[in-house]
Amino acid sequence: MSREIGISILLSAVTSDKTPKSVLTAVELARKVLGLQYSRKDEQEADLVSLEYLFKTGYNPCAVVEAMRTLEQKDALRPIDFLSSHPAPQNRIAYLTRKTQTNYYNLAAAVSFFS
C-alpha cells in the first residue's frame, strides 16, 4: 500500500491540470501495471511462506502444488500475465515445486511413494 501511495504521489508530481487527458490516461495505466508487478511478487512471497506455515502446523506443504494444479485447470481464461495481480498458475506450480523439492525433499519423496 505504501508503494502504491508513493507511486501515486510521484505521478501526481509530474502531471498538472494542463496535462493532456491522453497523457493522464497513459500515466494511470502505467501506475496500475507497476502496481500489478508488485502484487505478483507479494503473491509469490505469500505462496512460498505458506509452505513453511503448512509444514510447521503438521500439514503437507506439497498440497499447495496440488491446489495450484486445480486452479490451473479451472483458470482457462486468464488475462495476459503482466496485467494480472497473481502469478500464472503454471508459474506458481514451477516455483512451488522447486521449493518443495529443495526444502521438503524427504517429505515430497514419501508423498510420491504413497501416491
pLDDT tens readout for residues 94-111: 999 999 888 887 665 545
Tell me the pTM. Answer: 0.61
Structure-block grid coordinates of residue 108? 515430497
Domain-wise residue ranges, the chain? 2-114
What value, to the nearest 5°, has the Cα angle with vertex 111 and ends 115 and 103?
Answer: 150
pLDDT digits (tens, 9 = 90+) for 46-66: 999 999 999 889 888 888 999
User: Would you list the DSSP string of 5-41?
Assistant: HHHHHHHHHT--TTS-HHHHHHHHHHHHHHHHHHHHH
Q: How confident is the model at residue 114 (pLDDT cuts 50, 70, 90)?
A: very low
Binning the chain into helix, strand and coil, the percentages to the nearest 5 are: 75, 0, 25
In this prediction, what percent of the chain has a pLDDT beyond 90? 14
* pLDDT > 80? residue 67: yes
